[in-house]
Amino acid sequence: MGLALAQHLLSQGWRVGRSDVDKQRGKAMEAELGENAIFVVADVTDYDQQASLFQTVWAKWKRIDFGNIS
């Protein structure tokens, strides 16, 4: 669902930040999704890693409109 949601949001003109613990897979998806997507390695069960994820996305685009953390 995460990749499908990212693709849909990108098709609507959104910028998308994605995370996963699998860096290799995540970077491959980032390349596939294009310049309006960013990948950040993060274990979403770890609060500090979640915070780092949001900080990285904020630093890149200076906004966060939606979060789908699962």
Structure confidence by residue, pLDDT tens digits, 1-29: 688 999 999 999 999 999 999 999 999 99
Contact 49, 28 (CB under 8 A): no
Q: What is the pTM of this model?
A: 0.85
Boundaries of every domain in the chain: 2-61
Could you read off the pLDDT of 30-48 as tens digits, one per residue? 999 999 999 999 999 999 9
Distance (Å) of CA 62 to CA 1, 21, 43, 55, 58? 26, 24, 22, 9, 5
